Amino acid sequence: MALVFVFFFAMAAVLFKTRFVFQKRLINVIAHVAVALEFAGVLIMGMLRATGNCTFPSRFTLSALVSAAGMVAIAYWLRRARGASMSTAAVLVFSAIFLSEVAVFATVFLPDGVRCLAVAPLVIAQIGCIHWARHRGNASDLPTPTRADDYFAVMTTGATNRRFLAACVVGIVAVSLVIGFLRGFPDGNPVPFCMPTRIACFLLTEAACVAFVVATLRQRTRVMTVGIWVVMQFLAAFTLVLYTAFPGHLDVGAITATLLNTLMGAFAYYIVLAFMSSGWRDPFYYAITIWGTWVFSRAIGRFVLLNVMPMGHSHFTGTVISLMLLVATQVVFIKLIEVAEFAVRYGGANSIAGGRRGSLLAGGAALAANGDAVDESAANNAGEPLNAVAVPGHDGNAAGVTWEDATRHETQWTGDMNAPKPSRLERLLGLDNDSAVADVQSAVMRHHAQRMGEQFLLSEREVEVLALYASGMTQKRVAEELHISQTTAHTHIGRIYTKTGLHSRQEILDYFKQYADA
């Protein structure tokens, strides 16, 4: 496992330093290679175990290979789901956990060597799934219910968004340290399951996955922002109670410890999706960073339990775990409270500037429509944002100003609170991509696209496409921004033209100027 850590952290360091972004063709190659290596590792390990020739060096090497390849394959599937709504992301993650637990539990009754051989066909089946998925729609296109007060919907501003995600990472570290202690209680060694406790663990895990999926689809409030933290911390406390109540049957406490670890894994993958949807770095960077944070923190807890804590003092160990759980609970909820307070201050500053900003959004009729318009074909080729905004003067006449002028006034209105600098942690996590200019540009275009969408009954996705397309993006850039295929973007643009009766980007801009706020 140490070799896997070194490999992935080295890769993350390279991606961080070079800001490298994988192209789609290379991503597909990486996914196929990862699945092939995972399949080969599982198959060889199964054959060695079946013949009794699996030595420690070979088992260690193959385990490291399977772990690394499996992580890359998971990152590929998460990458395909980036841009999904909160509901889609939660259902995807917990459904995957549900199905994987079924596959793992089914192999429990098989002999050791046959177990790996039975899993191998499921691993190689990913190749077919990859080809099938490439010809289907993306997860971001699914119409799923998402409450306005739950993530991903609640974090509508870049600054609040990065604060929340950074707080989640801190929480993952704190709780994962506790998990490392609980999974090795009391002396650091794994607790073996008997068949009844294994069955109980399986049933509880499946029930938890179903419960989170149902709660998400029923739009329960703050399921994945606060609720899951409460559940995990309750499980940690209850695990410690079970260890203390049944000192001669530690596998009873291991049931909830394993469930807690599974839920943390699901939440880590969910947060990976949030980072992929919010950050500007390559999605593989976020997968490596969050996965590494989770697993490494858990490993530190296990290491301390094995090498630092005194052996044979379960009461002392339990007391230390209780203290760590208390600290972890405080850290998590203090961070969440800080995010909530920041959102209130941030929103309050926005409301103070609302009147003056509203004149920019409501009166700024169209980009590049106040004077010299950019030719449609040139905009398609260059894909550069159009460069002027029409802002009404005090006498009611439009006076053209540049984006730089609008941005300077916007910063003056909202103050430093509305443009907080990313912290070191946020920069390390790749959440330092806020831009005041981009915020003003996108706000203006979203405003007019929404007004136009109301008038012509455009769908929510068509409004998003319209805002980006009217700002000067090519169809390819629109597809990349919304994490959809270029064909899908082209289809949305065609539907926009059909519903509005317009025929070019310039006609859309002219409509914005003349009619959008009439």
Tokens (6 digits) for 442: 């996108």
- Which residue from 467, 344, 450, 441 is spatially nearest to 387, judged by alpha carbons? 441
DSSP secondary structure string, 157-189?
Answer: SHHHHHHHHHHHHHHHHHHHHHHHHHHTTTTSS
Q: How far apart are the first and last CA of the chain?
A: 63
| pLDDT value at residue 8 | 81
- Which residue from 201, 186, 314 is spatially nearest to 257, judged by alpha carbons? 201
pLDDT grade, residue 401 (50/70/90)?
Answer: very low
Helix (H) or strand (E) holding 15: helix 2-18
Query: Taking a C-beta distance cutoff of 8 angstroms, is the pair 429, 276 a contact?
Result: no
The average confidence (pLDDT) of the chain is: 79
Domains for the chain: give ranges and CATH numbers: 2-348 (no CATH), 353-514 (1.10.10.10)
If one counts every other C-beta atom within 10 angstroms of the C-beta of residue 501, the result is: 9
Single-letter amino acid code for the residue at 182? L
398, β-bridge pairs: 392
pLDDT grade, residue 157 (50/70/90)?
Answer: low
| pLDDT value at residue 352 | 39
Query: Quick check: 368 pLDDT over 60?
Result: no
List, for residues 450-467, the tens digit of each pLDDT value.
888 888 888 888 888 998
The Cα–Cα gap between 324 and 175 comes to 9
Which is more confidently placed, 426 or 74? Answer: 74
Q: Give the up-direction half-sphere exposure of residue 22: CA atoms within 13 A in the CB hemisphere.
A: 19
pLDDT grade, residue 158 (50/70/90)?
Answer: low
List, for residues 167-215, the tens digit of each pLDDT value.
899 999 999 999 999 998 888 888 889 999 999 999 999 999 999 999 9
The Cα–Cα gap between 150 and 216 comes to 10
Rg of the chain's alpha carbons, rounded to an integer?
Answer: 26
| pLDDT value at residue 435 | 45
DSSP-derived pairing of the beta strands 388-392 and 398-402: antiparallel
| pLDDT value at residue 252 | 94
Least confident interval from 149-158, 260-269, 402-411: 402-411
